Structure 1
Amino acid sequence: MSEVVTKVLLEFLSLSKNLLVLFIGISFFISIIQPYVPFEKVEKWMSSKNPFLANLAGALLGFITPFCSCSTVPLLVTMINRKVPFQTVMTFLFSSPLLDPWILGLMAYIYGLKVTIVYSVTTFVFSMIIGWYLDKKNYKEQVKNVVIKGVLPEQDEKRRKDFKLNIKESIKETIDLIRSVLVYILIGALVGAIIKEAVPTNFFNLISEHNQLWVIPLAAIIGIPLYVRLSTMLPLAQALMVNGFPIAPTMALLIGGAGASLPEIIMLKSIFRTKLISAFVISVFLMATVSGYLFLILT
């Protein structure tokens, strides 16, 4: 028992450090570059009356930002503060941890082209559908008033002309954001450490012996609490498949694990109200489960 507690504690310290370094680094980087980004033009393009174009913009933004589930949060807050359309923000939230060129290349090398194509198309399309649906159902009202100082156009102009001022304001913004989510990061790290170190490693082998029709949604549920980057999930998924775990529930586990995590969910509580948090979790579960069934049919 004491050995498990020690492992959980060490994992908590490691995960807390990694999350904080990642969060601080990305938050500071985004704060530094945001005065130079023409958000007014981006917003105009993303506010297209055609919902397909707005969703496509969010999906493409997710595709070119190789973030894990937790590191999407700083850019998410910036997009909300910059009044980027809600459906674009939500589509980005789903697509960013699941899609990027490097990951897809690695996936093609490990699993082959067919699996990669099915994965890419399903996650890309599902991200767009979910973003559109949440916007249509007016979930925008479930976003809390998370405001970071220093996001007005006239302040951007000053920061573009004075790099030292930009550095100073970026540090302040990063500190403000960290203060608002620090508790959530630590709680999320603790929960993630407990799950990683307390769940028996032979659990997956046990459930792989049963009917895939119910193993697929179970794998999606198991994946959601885990905090793992997709690049970490791919070797894990490969190891499961080598040990006889079928590809369909493996992909459901991969999408569930990379698409959401308990640390991310806890951090999102500082931005979203409970109704939107629930919709987010259910959406990731549905994406992972339906994708798993598609893999069962198509592969």
Structure 2
Amino acid sequence: MWTETFKSFLSIAIELTVLFVVISFAINLVQAYIPYEKVEKYLSGKNKGMAAAFALIFAFVTPFCSCSTIPVVVNMLKKKMPFSIVMIFLFSSPILDPTIITIMGVVLGWKVSIIYTVITTVFSVIIGFALEAFGFEKSVKNVMVKGYEEETKTFNVKAAFNETLALMKSVYPYLINGALIGSVIHGLVPTHWIASAFGSDKWWIVPIAAIVGIPLYIRLSSMIPISQVLIAKGMALGPVMALIISSAGASLPEVILLKSIFKKELVVTFVLSVIMMSTISGFIFYLV
């Protein structure tokens, strides 16, 4: 049993390592052609539709975890960018990671990856504009977190390689942890137990998975290999995706950081919004 677990770990780890390095390097090369100055200009523009689109683009090309997003959000607020646009970025940045979404497509299937991207994109936009419409802009404290500085990067093959190494240091350990957990589940947890406990007929598992994902603080990079094994073991796709979105979209460390810049009502609304997005997304995956 332990031998099978070790073999499973090696298989998952090698596959994810190759995918991660190749995809990260390619994306870092592509980033050389992204005009960040124009993106920032459109983010601050009066055309809210265009600004929302560029907020999503900015979120997509800045693969931060939920905690790393906070300093960027503070910087956007400092520059007086529209509140709804800042919120769209806050919700979408941790869950729209191009590298992980691509790996998700290879591991879980491109249909799953595309639906995931569409759902999280749409919900991020809806929630962002809804929070502004309900007047939550007044719940932003006049406090600025230090430690974020913008920098201009020159991208080439060498720079893309260095960026890939830096990303490996920050994200790769989570990927390997996910592979380790996934291999343990694969080798030691009985298939029939997961299938019976978390099968497709248990609709109530979706909201539970969405709630449980918040305090777990499992990064998106860790959840992909874990979810691959859970689905292979018989767990329904709905609760798996609800867990992925909630654990990536919010976390206890992020909530603590948000309390320094947002008032209590906005922090609570943020968490509830992530749970709602995760739950509805899980049910959508049930349907499709």
TM bucket (normalised to shorter chain) is: 0.5 to 0.7
1:101 to 98, 110, 120: 98
Which residue matches 1:79?
76
Give the TM-score taking structure 1 as reference length: 0.65
| Residue 232 (structure 1) aligned with residue 222 (structure 2) | yes
2:286 to 261, 272, 296: 296
SS at match of 2:274: helix
Residue 86 of structure 2 aligns with an amino acid whose one-letter code is V
Residues 219, 249 of structure 1: 8 Å contact kept: yes
Which residue matches 2:23?
none
2: CA distance, partners of 1:217 / 1:148 = 33
Which residue matches 1:270?
260
Which residue matches 1:254?
244
Give the TM-score taking structure 2 as reference length: 0.68
Task: Give the C-alpha shift of residue 138 in structure 1.
Answer: 1.5
Q: How many residues align?
A: 214
Aligned ranges 1:168-247 → 2 under 5 Å: 205=194, 207-209=197-199, 211-247=201-237
Which residue matches 1:66?
63
Q: RMSD in angstroms over aligned alpha carbons?
A: 2.8
Residues 142, 276 of structure 1: 8 Å contact kept: yes
1: CA distance, partners of 2:144 / 2:236 = 45
Identity of aligned residues (%): 48
Deviations 1:236-281 (CA, angstroms, capped at 9, x unpaired) = 1112212221111100010011111111111111111111001101
Which residue matches 2:185?
none
1: CA distance, partners of 2:220 / 2:90 = 14
Residues 43, 81 of structure 2: 8 Å contact kept: yes
Which residue matches 1:50?
47
Residue 217 of structure 1 aligns with an amino acid whose one-letter code is P
SS at match of 2:227: helix
Q: 1:264 to 1:148 in 2, by over 3 A?
A: closer
| Residue 132 (structure 1) aligned with residue 122 (structure 2) | no
Residues 141, 263 of structure 2: 8 Å contact kept: yes
Residues 43, 84 of structure 1: 8 Å contact kept: no
Deviations 1:110-168 (CA, angstroms, capped at 9, x unpaired) = 011111111010001111111111111111110111136899xxxx9xx99xxxxxxxx
Residue 242 of structure 2 aligns with an amino acid whose one-letter code is A
Q: 1:46 to 1:210 in 2, by over 3 A?
A: closer
Task: Give the C-alpha shift of residue 44 in structure 1.
Answer: 5.0
